[in-house]
Structure 1
């Protein structure tokens, strides 16, 4: 039974295609122009309307689509205000006189809905060029403006966005046109957020029921398109409301008081309410928040996941009605580890510092992110700046500051020179901010640290009572320990930084020497700006070294090109005459030849 409707639908589509092909072969562009002029001139030529509709199709040539569209657009714009809101006939029993005029206008409404559907099909088709898509988009948005009796036609706009989101062909051109021409209008942004929320909600329901796979090709393309739309909408800045422009100018856009708007709400139903710019501004944060929360609940592919984490702290969180609502999403992302944790760090840090989020295991997770691969990550620059900010608090415990300093110093032995420069800058700032860890700098015998106050708890527990004293040179720091408090960093020293004095890269050794000078004269030095080192690489270090002006040093050189390997002054009493040496060689050869002849005789 399920195959019968499908076959009937295919047969209808084939018949429609044959009809369009036949019409294109029998009508020229001049004929279409004539049909359009007749339609606009008199109701007697209303039968030209269905004929013109057949040319608005992705399979029609662009000139035919354009000519038919111009006529149909002019016809419907003048007649839309008098058309019913739906093409369905009124239910039986209503006190509505069903006369010929009402039937005619209901029929026109059905043809308008058919035109909108055809325009959307043309817009998302891969067969149409970009110029025609722009014209079709303008026509759709014009119907959005005038198709609902002075109010924004959200149904047409939602249908258009739904077709874009579920399109199997590339729609980058359409999204770019929307951003360029319409997303600066306040009401267009408002209804776009509403549509995105509904699209995401529907997709999630289908995904949970198993009707559509979130990781299927269709599901992945849907999420990519929705992300492209929602991330392209400019946020609502805190500017003067008089600067906001509306796509649908209803004539009721003046700013009203709360009492006046309350009276209007009593007089109008919610679905018939005329939205003013002031109302939209007050509601925009809520719509923005609902759209983003609905989108983030979808099964995001890994590439979209990363792109979302990159923009959350700058483009999403500041404009949410309740930013703390993202705490679950960000903490789960931070717990994943690897690059995802690095990218979620900035947004999580923003929630902790500005919105009161409490995350007890934050520093333990941050400590676990310090691995050699982080120095080659794409977003390492932002990560190291955030790492420096996270370690800035004077309330940071000594054991935690020491653990980070020791973990970074150990990493300096295996990372590239650019990473070593960042590590030296971070440790420099740690030592300046936390004087309690200065014991790590000049400790020569690490076994003496057993008498320090930092290990009094361990001594009280008797952990080292039966253990003989360690020999000098033993490092108590446990690099493999994930918990900073158990790493024994305070019993160690920063010997790794001292070894960088002899680093093969000159900038690294120079920065280590400056670190020693800065710690010696604290009053005349300040913290190092990590931003100056985070973007470094082999190429940047080489470029900086090549730009430096080298001091001239005396070199050994000859005023005139030498003619001999050694000069006579080098070996006094010896002669290096070429002619004399040649004669000696000839005579020696002659004597050796005579000896050979004598011996043979």
Structure 2
């Protein structure tokens, strides 16, 4: 067998890597020389071709940063400044350079979905850094602070659409990678007010760009929701608007004049009247006898982009428009609706300009039933309590959740938590409160012990909070043959529960489980004990109840007086007249 003249495979690979690295350094040096001496920049295309052909992650990583340094130098050079490109040739060069920078940006956007974590992170960091350099260059060229909108729209589109990586032939993950999402949220979306404002605006525009709601790719909806539901930072006052990724946008904007309707250098497409224009939310008519004429009150929609970034009302409007555009797309998906409802009452409603506009969507989610319906009722209750929403059927919808299932399903504890909040008002009619506790008492007859342990403290607290219901445990009517409570009635105002009694709770005093029977005896004592801490009873299951019984320490041995049997299995028929029982007669051999 003849020996191969080729070097070992490992050495060949190292040699190939070294040659690629030297090639990268050579091309980068040529680009820098061309920028300094004014030569040709055609070698930039060679570096892009090298990046496209690099399958090795380490080599591609080197090429990406070489391209980044080259593009930053190009962006900062006079070659890309439109005001300094006076000749036709210089304009062609500028167009060609911007095209190559665009190709580099597209490549980075594709790498956001790459399977290599280091490449994903590097691509995102380079894209956001390029955004800063491009925005600075274009702000200097136009003498107006602005963001490079085209570049940022590409970033938003890549994060929401998740196109396939140029290194793979697959169609992409379609879902944004969790590490990439968290990095973008923690580093930029939660920290910089301008990035957050433009993210809301461009995400809304992306959703609205699809004429038919059914044509919106599902990954856009799910990915956008994953960003919004994890966003924990929203400004609540103007003083909090102090973080800007684009330094030029952080400067104080000029004041708005009453007759000025000029926008800054960034061109924005007009929004059709029939669309959800955030700028019209603040056009409420002033009072009839307003001391200040309307002409002297600047309208929010007249603000330039720079001024909008320093306006709290504008941030709230963009936030509201983004959510209001997203929610109709997730109304038919119970899992997505559940995720949105989970953050709605704390993370969305307080930051919206007009939260009552959510009423229709939330009301539709109540029809889902189950845990989603409860979350929707929680959001509705927030609108009723804090924003004066008129929803007369709220307690009727809540009463409909009181079925046998609520005592057995996993969201049982959530129901009791929310019901305790909903029924806490002292202004509720006694008939409604009586219907709820009577219905719970009736359901407890066929409920597991853990559910009964939740029900008894809940009813006790309700009786303590509303003394008008005490008649339900003190009613003595020997002539009553039937319970007047109508359990088939859907309206809690017409169940006749207040004329009934809580006799179901008395039956629990003879429950087989000692913890239940002991707890039920509280209703036969004077109501002098303080209200129960409901949270102490909501997490019980069969497992926790069994563990409690097993670990219970007996103060003294139980009294047992059983006569031991002489024989476990009698061998002959028992003598006539001897005490016997059915079991003994059956076990005769």
TM (norm. structure 1) is 0.74
Structure 1 counterpart of 2:247, from 238, 246, 249: 249
Instruction: Note closer, same or farther for the CA distance 1:267–1:47 as it changes in structure 2 (3 Å cut).
Output: closer
1:186 aligns with 2:218: no
Q: Which moved more, 1:498-507 or 1:300-309?
A: 300-309
Long gaps (5+) in structure 1: 1-23, 91-95, 449-471, 557-564, 567-601
Q: Is the 8 A contact 1:189 1:233 kept in 2?
A: no
* Pair 276,361 (structure 1): closer, same or farther in 2 beyond 3 Å: closer
**Partner residue of 2:39?**
44
User: Deviation per CA, 1:13-52, whole angstroms, max 9, x where unpaired?
Assistant: xxxxxxxxxxx99962211221111111224352211111
How far did 1:354 drift? 0.7
The whole-number CA distance in structure 2 between the counterparts of 1:72 and 1:416 is: 66
For 1:103 and 1:220, the matched residues in 2 are separated by 40
Maintained 8 Å contact 1:352/1:358: yes
TM superposition shift of 1:351: 0.6
Matched, 1:121 2:110: yes
1:152 matches 2:184: no
Query: Greater share of helix residues, 1 or 2?
Result: 1
In 2: Cα distance, 1:244 partner to 1:381 partner:
42
Q: Are 2:143 and 1:143 aligned?
A: no
Shift of 1:159: 1.3
Whole-angstrom distance in 1 between the partners of 2:312 and 2:478: 64
Q: Structure 1 residues 364 and 83 mapped into 2: Cα distance closer, same or farther (>3 Å)?
A: farther
- The partner residue of 2:95 within 99, 103, 106 is 106
Contact 2:434 2:497 in 1 (8 A): yes
Q: Distance in 2 between matches of 1:381 and 1:405?
A: 16
- Aligned positions of 1:72-83 closer than 5 A: 72-81=67-76, 82=78
Q: Which runs of 5+ in 2 are unaligned?
A: 1-15, 140-145, 163-171, 269-303, 561-565, 568-589
Q: Which of the residues 296, 306, 309 maps onto 2:327?
A: 296
CA distance in 1, matches of 2:317, 2:343: 19
Question: Which stretch of structure 1 is more off in the superposition, 275-284 or 161-170?
Answer: 275-284
Cα–Cα, structure 1 residues 376 and 314, in superposed 2: closer, same or farther, change >3 Å?
farther
- 1:229 counterpart = 2:227: yes
Aligned in 2, Cα 1:378/1:287: closer, same or farther, shift over 3 Å?
farther
Query: Is the alpha carbon distance of 1:480 and 1:267 closer, same or farther for their aligned partners in structure 2, counting shifts above 3 Å?
Result: closer
Q: Confirm or deny that 1:348 pairs with 2:380.
A: yes
Aligned to 1:165: 160
**How far off its partner does 1:247 sit?**
1.1
Displacement of 1:274 after TM fit?
Answer: 6.8
Deviation at 1:547, TM superposition (A): 4.7
Among 495, 503, 508, which residue is 2:503 paired with?
Answer: 495
What is the 5 A alignment of 1:163-562? Answer: 163-167=158-162, 168-169=172-173, 170-172=175-177, 173-183=179-189, 184-203=191-210, 205-207=211-213, 212=215, 219-238=217-236, 241=239, 244-250=242-248, 253-255=250-252, 258=255, 268-269=264-265, 271=267, 275=306, 279=310, 281-300=312-331, 301-445=333-477, 447-448=479-480, 472=481, 474-517=482-525, 520=526, 522=527, 524-553=528-557
What does residue 569 of structure 1 align with? none
Q: How has the CA–CA distance of structure 1 residues 350 and 267 changed in structure 2, closer, same or farther, with 3 Å as cutoff? A: closer
Separation of aligned partners in 2, 1:298 and 1:274: 28
Q: 1:160 to 1:257 in 2, by over 3 A?
A: closer
How many residue pairs match? The answer is 488
The answer to whether the 8 A contact 1:367-1:482 is kept is: yes
For the residues of structure 1 that align with 2:523 and 2:264, how far apart are their CA atoms?
Answer: 71
Alpha-carbon distance in 1 for matches of 2:200, 2:310: 15
CA distance in 1, matches of 2:207, 2:454: 42
What is the root-mean-square deviation of aligned Cα atoms in Å? 3.2
Change (3 A) 1:394 1:59: same
**1:57: Cα distance to partner?**
3.2
Stretch moving more, 268-277 or 147-156: 268-277
Cα offset, 1:549, TM superposition: 3.5
The separation in 2 between residues aligned to 1:547 and 1:243, in whole angstroms, is: 56
Superposed CA offset, 1:60-113 (max 9, x none): 322332222222211221221445589xxx9xxxxx954322221221111111
TM-score, normalised via structure 2 length: 0.75
Cα distance change of structure 1 residues 226 and 502 upon mapping to structure 2, 3 Å threshold: same
5 Å-filtered alignment, 1:65-76, equals 65-76=60-71
- Displacement of 1:554 in angstroms is 7.6
Q: Is the Cα contact below 8 Å between 2:80 and 2:97 reproduced in 1?
A: no
Q: Higher mean Cα deviation, 497-506 or 175-184?
A: 175-184
- CA spacing shift, 1:185–1:147, aligned 2, 3 Å: same
